[in-house]
Every structure is written in structure tokens, then in C-alpha cells.
Amino acid sequence: MQVERIEEMRLTADDEVQINALILVAFDDSFGDRSFYQQRHHVRLVVREANEIIGHMAICYRAIRLGTQLVTVAGLADVATSPSHRGRGIAGAMLTAAIAEVKQTQAKFFILFGNRLIYSGRGFEAASNRVIYTDMTGANTATISLTSDNDLMVMAMGDEPWSGALPVDLLGSKF
């Protein structure tokens, strides 16, 4: 199975339509006419079969605050596999590729918001940090939110440990 890497600025109009359609069938939720939930990403990972996108993950790269320290992280977002293709290892292959991609960057941590077994099985650990972020539901700036019940999971990319006791400021929206 081949995982294709697409830089955000290189997405085609057809890719955008296919990703949006995949997200709609995978989650019974639409992002309107967008291929992203809140903000555009930096890199997309997709799996195609017969020119149809059947798997998708997005990676974001940015700085956040962990306590008072500004830290470079990568975030995983908009994960979807076509329901008719689940159970074939598509998400696992994309996650392996995503971790390899992030290891090649300066990101100290790879973070996501979710609680699926696939993530803990690949080395992500639950974190109980208090998180502040800008709610951008529907790609509209809404309110600043603060929560500790956030399904935050973290994977260290080096020797620096993550501190679950420090507040996290995403300096923007969730991934």
C-alpha cells in the first residue's frame, strides 16, 4: 500500500473534493465544501485505490506554549478511512508515514486530539493538560476555550519529556 504525501499548496481541486467526500462518509459530518475542518494543514497523507482517495490524514506544524516555553510541535488532524475499506491497515500505514514525516522535522512533540487505540498502540500517550485554544467550529472564529477534558495525546519526538502538569496554549485552533 502506498501512502502519498501532498503539500497543502499542491492539493488539486479534485483532491479537495475527494477528501471532503471521504470525510463526509467516514464521519457523517461535512466540512461544508472544504477538505479541512478549521484551518488548512501543511501536509496531507492519502491512500488511493483506482485514483480514488480512500484514506486521509493531515499534519500541521506550528509553535504552541507548554507552560511558558514556546515549543514546536506537529499535530495530527482530519483522519479518515473509507468505511468500505476499513480493516485493511490503511490508517496504520498512514500513521506510520505521519510519524516518520514528523521525525524529520524540528517538532519536539507530535500531538493529536482523539482517543483511538491505534494512537496508543503507536506510542501516543494520553495527557491531562489544561488546554486553551480558539474555537473555530465551521471555520469561523468563535470563542477562546479552556478545557482539561480534551482527549489530548502526545508522542515525544526526542528525549525531552512532555509535562502533563503544565498548561498548553495552542496559540490558535485545535488541529
Write the DSSP assignment of 92-143 as a string of letters: HHHHHHHHHHHHTSS-SEEEEE---HHHHHTT-EE----EEEE--GGGS---
4-169 belongs to which homologous superfamily? Gcn5-related N-acetyltransferase (GNAT) (3.40.630.30)
pLDDT at residue 25 in the model: 86
Q: Which residues make Cβ contacts (< 8 Å) with residue 57, sequence separation at least 6?
A: 44, 45, 76, 77, 78, 79, 91, 94, 95, 98
- Cα 50 to the center of its chain, rounded Å: 25
Instruction: Supply the pLDDT for residue 28.
Output: 67
Of 92, 3, 93, nearest in space to 49 by CA: 3
In the chain, where are the structural domains located? Answer: 4-169
Q: How large is the C-alpha radius of gyration of the chain?
A: 16
- State the pLDDT at residue 30: 67
Contact 106, 63 (CB under 8 A): no
User: DSSP class of residue 20?
Assistant: H
Which has the closest alpha carbon to 17: 56, 43, 49?
A: 56
Q: What is the pLDDT along the chain (175 residues), one digit of tens a residue?
A: 899 999 999 999 999 999 999 988 887 666 777 787 777 899 999 999 999 999 999 999 999 999 999 999 999 999 999 999 999 999 999 999 999 999 999 999 999 999 888 999 999 999 999 999 988 776 767 788 777 767 899 999 999 999 999 999 999 988 8
